[in-house]
Amino acid sequence: MEKIKKKKILILLPDGVGLRNFAFTSFVEIGEKMGWEVIFWNHTPFDLTEIGYSEIKLEGKPRAKTDLLKRAKIEAELDHFSEQFKDQVYQTYKFPPSNKGLKKKVKNILVSNLVKTHRGESGLRELRDKMRKSERKGDLYRHCKSVLDEEKPDLVFCTNQRPVTAIAPLTAAADLGIPTATFIFSWDNLPKATMVVETDHYFVWSEYMKQELLTYYPFISPAQIHITGSPQFEPHFDESLRRSREEFFREHDLDPNKEYLCFSGDDVTTCPDDQHYLADIAEAVQGLNRKGHNLGILFRRCPVDLSSRYEEVLSKYNNLIIPVVPKWKKAGKNWNSVLPTKEDLELQVNTLLHTKAVINLASSMVFDYAVFEKPCLYLNYEVDNKEDENWSPEKVYNFVHFRSMPSQDAVVWLDSREEITKKLKVLLNGSSEIVKKAQQWFEIINQHPPQEASKKIWKEIENII
């Protein structure tokens, strides 16, 4: 009897952000049970064979010209969104380029000229075509084509729509007639013009994100979009990752007599004043403790923030703030070479489980805590000693993805330093209404039930093939 050939999927990891969703969840195991041969096409320094997965290393890098075209496409797209929707918020997504050195100045002039000469839908279409044509001339494309000729997968599934590295493998697949798909990585990505790749299929978190995709990219048809939710929330439902309070507290030197609030740090770009906010929270908690409360602060820094900006605050409040360092792996010198690990999933799950609430600026941790029926407090005021005069929390909360919030009461807003104590007190007395609103917001952002995203992705993959 002839053996039935397994269906084969190449999961493209153009950078490390897809590891958490697709390598550290049950995603692979579900696919294998359904009869798929799952191979990671891996451009990260992480060795997936160490955790028992099959991988092919994606070798090489995109052409310098493609990167310039990508930069121009993002700028031109944000300009187009501003004109089309008559909304200047899209301009706030632009990062001022560095002008240090002649090489960077020349590159900036080239990008600026490309933006000027490629306006509107037709100009953007031309830039997308030029990115693919540019990559077809490079060594990376030739390498990808040879891998695909050898492997003959039924689908190439890209874990992240943002990296320029993904263009060559997806273009090579399309040129060989192999179906392609991409997962939209984050809830805030689409308004930021981060769609660098074009594929046959797009996997999104929710109906809300599907409508965003159709709005920003009218060349995509509804039939190409698959609503599945994001696997990033699945570990929260995995009982095997949970540790007892005693075990978690013992491992991280936490005081078993205290209740802990989690302060979740941002990267320096998102929140340059984060260390000052942490100091303000510590001051308020200290005041509450003097009045009979017994609170501590568990500090989880942003994993890619390798700065020393918190040291002074941590030293001053060392009896109050316990830093719990994310278990990410540094595989290179740049921030984007700091990679998540499976161990960090367990750490994060238990941080959520054993803290009362989360405090941060504008983070999606509001949804992580909503899963555990716990509230989120959003920092929303100017500190006295600002690090950057051009930055403000108002700018961040004006971003388009916050318009998805069905009620301003989905979080506790810390609108001034003076009201932190009062709002923490209220929160400690009960937060069920806030949590209920946060869960409603989560249902808009991510298809429910959130623990079934991987199954839904595989079901849609089966339908495609």
Segment 133-146 mean pLDDT:
98
d(CA 184, CA 202): 7
Domain boundaries, the chain: 7-62+138-230+450-464, 64-134, 236-445
Q: Span 236-445: which CATH code?
A: 3.40.50.2000
Mean per-residue pLDDT over the chain, rounded: 95
pLDDT value of residue 224 = 98
Residue from 81, 42, 273 nearest 163 by CA: 42
Distances (CA, A) of 347 to 235, 314, 335, 386, 418: 11, 20, 21, 32, 32
What are 248-287's pLDDT values in tens digits? Answer: 999 999 999 999 999 999 999 899 999 999 999 999 999 9
What type of residue is 459? K
6: phi then psi, degrees, rounded to nearest 5: -65, 145
Percent of the chain with pLDDT over 70: 98
Cis preceding-peptide flag for 449 (omega within 30 of 0): yes
Domain 7-62+138-230+450-464 has CATH 3.40.50.2000: yes
pLDDT at 124 over 50: yes
d(CA 313, CA 282): 9
pLDDT at 58 over 80: yes
Residue found under tokens 């540790």? 243
Do domains 7-62+138-230+450-464 and 236-445 share one topology? The answer is yes
Percent of the chain with pLDDT over 90: 89
What are 382-413's pLDDT values in tens digits? Answer: 998 899 998 999 999 999 999 999 999 999 99
pLDDT value of residue 29 = 97
CB 384, CB 293: distance < 8 Å: no
What type of residue is 146? S
CB 54, CB 105: distance < 8 Å: no
pLDDT value of residue 332 = 62
pLDDT at 1 over 50: no
pLDDT value of residue 336 = 56
pLDDT value of residue 3 = 55
What are 150-184's pLDDT values in tens digits? Answer: 999 999 999 999 999 999 999 999 999 999 999 99
Segment 53-58 mean pLDDT:
97
Predicted TM-score (pTM) of this structure: 0.95
